[in-house]
Amino acid sequence: MSGSSLCGVVEPADFQAAAATAAAAAAAATRANSSSDRDEWSVSECGFMDPEVQRTMRSGSAAEDITQYPLRGWQEVTGEFIAACQELIPGELAQDMMFGLFEAMSAIEIMDPKMDVGMGFDKSDLPPPSFEAAITMGVIKLDDLTPTELIGIFDALFSCIVSWLEGNSMDQVLFTCLYLHAPAKIKDKPLRVFCTAVRNLIAVIKSIILLAGVNEEEDFQLYGNSTLLSAEKAHPGNIFGYLKEVEDELVRKCKQLTSPEDLMSVVHRLRFMRHLFQVIYQVEQMETSTGTEDRMSEIYKNLNVASELLPLIRKTIDRGTQPVEGSEAPNPIGFSTRIHDRSQPPSFPRSIKIRDRPASFQFLEEMISRFKYACKVTRNKDYFSALNFFIEYSKKSGQCILSRSVLQAIFTANLRMVHGRMPMKQFLRHSVQAFNSPPVLSAKNTVSSDPKVQQQLENFFRYCISLNTFTMFIRICGFNRARQRDKLGRLIENFDAIQVDAARLDSFMNQLANERAMEGNELHATALKHSTHFSTWVLYNCFRAMLIYLMSGFELELYAVHEFLYIYWYPYEFLVGFLVSALTRTENILLAQEEYAEHLSKTQANGGSTSKNRKVAKPRKNKKLQRPYRCEIVFYHALLSLCGGMYKAMGALTKDGRVRLPMDTFDNEEVRYIRRFRPFGSLTSPPPVSYQEFKSIRDHMMLASVEDLYSVAAKHFDQARNILENIQNPDQEVLDLLQIARTNFVVMNVLARGHQKDVKRQPEFDFSKHSYFPIIKLK
């Protein structure tokens, strides 16, 4: 026999059992030679966790009675486990070295109907029918469907589309409709054409979302049953004609009926599908389109027609077949909710509730409104206005992945092209010129033709494109709000390299200006000498990314109340002030250039005729236009006062004992501070602020009395109120901030007078009015 027979162990058949036998033999030899009184080794010490290996190791034989497994080591802990769970409050998680939040969220709970697909079945249940089996059993109709049945199926399919766009699995919502499995076999023409349109719509929507690249796994599930994803024979471009043909046929039938209301309801749904499909298909085709303006007008026209049809459709929902009470199917005809249950991997959600029909059409109505708003992005010709548009759209689009993807497709289907026709490098060059108008970018200026200047500008913009920072900033605004913060943290680090390159370019321009001045060319010297045009532009965008990153933590509820103090302190002391400074400097640059242009115009006119002198006043006409950022500066001043008010208010509440602080044993404020501001640490401008600097500033503030701190906070809120009240034509955000400033001003004054001095309750911070600034409510 082999060497294994020396140990009295039967030679195993496979490799794992052989390894287990060797380990058991080694363990036995070690126990015999060891002076320790331990009489056995644990399974984990042997390093073999496979159940079959464990059996072999425990018994020393490959032929073990599985009914006796495990032989030892199990204890009844149900009572202790239930008692321990009762000590946890909702939201708490018991953490172990080998079991944390990730393992808890990834675990699949066996025998839970929401997680375990097998729990939804009964032994007496029949298997769900396939499309062919349903035809054989007579469960579905392929021909001669009534208008009532068509309305019910169409409305149920719209509900499935909406549920899919909300992030549910394609198999569990859309392909529960048996008609979608083989539309070509349907004999009823309206149903066949509608199902063919839905199948093609799925492919077009997937294409748009893939091209936009702003989806995450929690937003949208791209993939489903591969056998059902094959394209239909009908080309997407032909779907409009098919739908239009069926519409015309049904309209002719309606004219022959005495009560055509039900049939006209079918026509309205087919027409809505046609216009919706046309919009989405045209958006997908924009990446290869040349006539963008004509296509956009066509898209807007189709959106208007679709929005007009929705009220008519919503009024006739009750004309169709309705879901059976207690059933998961969205329609009693043509749907089998469990047909794909066995094909789902365990990670998919098991309990799917398809949206009801009124809510689905409400979703579609809001989505079409967002599409209309997204079409306005073509009016933004520079980076400053485009970024503002994307930030505003991100707040309105919510969780609709298709709305966010459509905006990305309209603005730039290709990362290098804007509006489908302008290279990104040219777009950034035009954006800098629109932002603060550097003389070297003006074609009218003679210095713009200097080869050295052109080479430096080309290098700078090529570097901006290679880092992809500005493009990614716009693209990040298309992700959901939670992912935006995560990606902004990494984007901010990239700004440092561009800041260095922009500073180098500005330094080169000033150096070249000095050389031209020494040569006696004052005209070129004045044009080249400027106040950091490119650095200001880069820094402004960097500051905006930092502010969005920091304040989005309030929207995502990431900060504890005791952290509010240093979160509001940073924008109050640094960030908002930097933004105001950048915009003010830009306005001063524009004013200085206007004065220089006016002076140059006068100088040239002095040597000409009288008729030329009359044209000198032209630049003065545009003087008011040279303060394009006045509204933004005023708004940032209001934010500065609000941040100051919240900072002082949190300091006063903390000193007054009204803010619950964590125990020192379980908390380290310095670690929290470093983690909150970690993305800013790699920047050279603005320089990172250490925890020691913050602590010294806070300690100095805390020297004042509680009443004085409350009073100072009230003054800040009063300043914000005065600024916001003077804004002309305020939008909803300004009105909400105004209400917050007024309320918090009253609360701070009340606390400064000693209200509830003996009651040390933590106030409530209500963020319902605004995501960044709460209303402070005393309990």
For 40-104, the DSSP string reads: ---HHHHT---HHHHHHHHHSSSS--GGG---S-----HHHHHHHHHTPPTT----BTTB-HHHH
Give the integer Cα–Cα distance in Å for 568 and 694.
12
- Series of mean pLDDT values for 10-residue runs along the chain (779 residues): 39 44 52 44 42 47 46 76 84 79 73 65 61 83 92 95 90 88 91 93 91 86 64 74 93 90 94 95 78 82 95 94 87 84 56 88 95 91 92 86 92 67 87 87 75 89 90 92 92 93 88 71 58 89 96 94 96 95 88 72 60 45 64 95 97 94 88 95 91 95 95 97 94 95 96 86 93 93
Contact 243, 270 (CB under 8 A): yes
CB 710 within 8 A of CB 649: yes
- How far, in Å, CA of 686 to CA of 628, rounded? 25
Specify the pLDDT at position 688. Answer: 92
648/682 Cα distance (integer angstroms): 28
* Tokens found for residue 742: 């007024």
CA–CA distance, 258 with 642 (Å, rounded to integer): 66
Radius of gyration of the chain, Cα coordinates, nearest whole angstrom? 34
- Torsion angles phi and psi, residue 422, rounded to 5: -105, 125
> Where do the H-state alpha helices sit in 614-629?
618-621
Pairing of strands 417-418, 422-423: antiparallel
pLDDT, position 344: 57
Q: Token pair of 17, please?
A: 């059992």
- pLDDT score for 431: 92
Yes or no: say if 194 and 154 are a contact pair by the CB < 8 Å rule: yes
Contact 326, 91 (CB under 8 A): no
Peptide linkage before 439 cis (omega within 30 of 0): no
Cα 115 to the center of its chain, rounded Å:
27
Among candidate residues 365, 278, 353, the one with its CA nearest the CA of residue 313: 365
Q: Is 520 left (phi over 0), alpha (psi -120 to 50) or beta?
A: left
Q: Residues near 97 by Cβ (< 8 Å), separated by ≥ 6?
A: none
Do the Cβ atoms of 90 and 84 come closer than 8 Å? no
